[in-house]
Structure 1
Amino acid sequence: MEWRNLYRGVLMGISDLIPGVSGGTIAVVLGIYDRLLQAISGFFSRQWKRHIGFLLPLAAGMGAAIVSLSRVIEYVLAHYFAPTQFFFIGLIIGVLPLITRQAGGARGSRPAHLLVLLVAAVLLGLMALVNGDEHGGEPLTDPDIATMAGLFFSGWLASMAMLLPGISGSLVLLLLGVYPTAIYALSNLDLMLMALIGSGVIIGFIVSSKAIRYLLQHYARITHAAIIGLLIGSVAVIFPGIPREAGTIAACVVTLLCGLGIAYGFGAADRKRAAKGEWS
């Protein structure tokens, strides 16, 4: 068992609770991203025993963080919505240089890459107009059959985002209006809601890990361009507006700077690994 994956899993679990930095981004910073995709793909094959020692401690750390901290996230969203959203925005903006650097910067970029970036940003940004304030809505505590199916596929889409460096699974749930329901399910241990969303996440991991690994290996430039565009567009989606109270504005500035600082720390760790030739 690779027990050091416990703390890695805790960091990834915390990030997947927050609609800003994805677990995939944390895996890149920690230098285990390629191994993670390989392990998830291999776990659902005949060689599954080779990967259980890597995945089990990682999953335990993620699960512990998600269950123990979900109530905290639910509380701050309910009582400090605008400052919390600005914290998320700080994380998103702060992680852009990291993803851009991992994509190779401007070197080798083509007009098609820029076009993909702009299209992804605009399409996602338009969701701010479509969804309105839906991301701050009430949890769906008594779903019907159609809603159950929607929760399952929301979990599926979120799992794809969790595996991508740059897109948060929580952000996807936020955009789909499912984030309050997911946080409610975790903080109140609602087993039915957890099973609906969680089963979608598991199936999504199985199906998506191989596809994402293939895209990043064979179409890394254009895949990263889409990721960066989605990150830029996501800022418009979760922007809560400018608060009216001076105290709230000050709190938003502080949380924005905190988000930027944390993301800068991720980037500094990545630069350190790159300088040592350890990044992959």
Structure 2
Amino acid sequence: MTVPGVSGGSMAMVLGIYDRLLKHVSEITKYPKESLTFLLWFAAGAGSGAFLFSRGISWLLTTRAEGILCFFFLGAVSGGIPMILKSASVSRIRGRELICILTGILTALLIALIPQGMFAPGTENTPMHLLFQLAGGFIIAVALVLPGISASQMLYMLGIYESTLKAISSLDILALLPLAVGGIMGTYLTARILEQLIKKHREATFLMILGFMLASLPELLPGHLAQENLLFCVMALAAGFIGVYFVTLK
């Protein structure tokens, strides 16, 4: 999530741990020890990665190397697509498979068309604002669990993006509490639903998730690409694709 356009769900899917994450989140009440152990190790790794690389990546995104970095992650996400098809037990794309992928793409594009601030609650510190904070946490969790869906876009849609950033920057725990409660509820329920869908309709679910991811790929393209970096961008694209492809299909 440190890189704009690369969601946590997308990278979990690309790295082949999406199933395990869903399983441990949805079974946290059934097998608390095993699930918490896995999730804590995962959170520690994710947090360490964000801490170690966030400044470097943020700096690169403000330099001429932005395009090279974006193309590397574009290649990395693309390199995980064969693994997703393998997980869905899809050997070739035919009519039914194509419909599932297009449904995922269309759903993601329709979400992207929702006007920013459409459901803005208005004045802060009111019951309505707290309700939207709770709903915002729930929707952010859904966006984080589903690959290719932008959590920040969901905050914009609800009209609570600025107030949430303000609360985070000032460490306003009380203001963030409804968001956190909604986030926990959303993560648990979304994981439970997705796990059941994968169990009962594995191929269709994975293909729709692939559609979400494909719809998010254009977000990785840099706004401006320096001509002198074109060759390096192509090399970065190839490196990202090849690296993830061989790691995930081992």
User: TM-score normalised to the size of structure 2?
Assistant: 0.68
Residue 248 of structure 2 is aligned to residue 270 of structure 1: yes
How far apart are 1:189 and its partner, in Å?
A: 6.9
Q: What is the aligned partner in structure 2 of residue 122 from structure 1?
A: 106
Change (3 A) 1:81 1:56: same
Separation in 2 of the partners of 1:75 and 1:238? 16
From 139, 153, 161, the counterpart of 1:157: 139
Task: Tell me, yes or no, if the aligned pair for 2:141 and 2:183 is still in contact at 8 Å.
Answer: yes
1:60-98 Cα deviation digits (max 9, x unpaired): 222333355445555555566962554543333333233
User: Percent identity, aligned pairs only?
Assistant: 22
1:220-268 Cα deviation digits (max 9, x unpaired): 1111221122222223455454x3xx7x344466356435523432221
Separation in 2 of the partners of 1:254 and 1:184? 35
How far apart are 1:216 and its partner, in Å?
A: 0.9
From 93, 96, 112, the counterpart of 2:78: 93
Q: What is the aligned partner in structure 2 of residue 62 from structure 1?
A: 46
Amino acid across the alignment from 1:113: E
Q: Report SS of the residue matched to 2:249.
A: helix
Q: Pairwise CA RMSD of aligned residues?
A: 4.2
How far apart are 1:48 and its partner, in Å?
A: 1.6
Residue 15 of structure 2 is aligned to residue 29 of structure 1: yes
Amino acid across the alignment from 2:82: P
Task: Tell me, yes or no, if the aligned pair for 2:197 and 2:205 is still in contact at 8 Å.
Answer: yes
How far apart are 1:121 and its partner, in Å?
A: 1.7
1:162-219 Cα deviation digits (max 9, x unpaired): 445xx15xx52244365x8699679957455765654443222211221111111111
Change (3 A) 1:228 1:58: closer
Greater RCO (Cα-Cα under 8 Å, separation 6 or more): 2
From 197, 202, 207, the counterpart of 1:215: 197
Q: Report SS of the residue matched to 1:20.
A: coil
1:104-138 Cα deviation digits (max 9, x unpaired): 2344x55333123223323434566666xx8xxxx
Amino acid across the alignment from 1:26: A
Which ranges of structure 1 fall in alignment gaps of 5 or more residues?
Answer: 1-15, 135-141, 273-280
- 1:63-82 alignment runs, 5 A limit: 63-67=47-51, 69-77=53-61
Q: Report SS of the residue matched to 2:27.
A: helix
Task: Tell me, yes or no, if the aligned pair for 1:89 and 1:256 is still in contact at 8 Å.
Answer: no
Q: Report SS of the residue matched to 1:105.
A: coil
Q: Report SS of the residue matched to 1:17.
A: coil
Separation in 1 of the partners of 2:229 and 2:131? 38
Task: Tell me, yes or no, if the aligned pair for 2:24 and 2:35 is still in contact at 8 Å.
Answer: yes
Amino acid across the alignment from 1:37: L
User: TM-score normalised to the size of structure 1?
Assistant: 0.62
The total of aligned residue pairs comes to: 237
Change (3 A) 1:130 1:28: closer
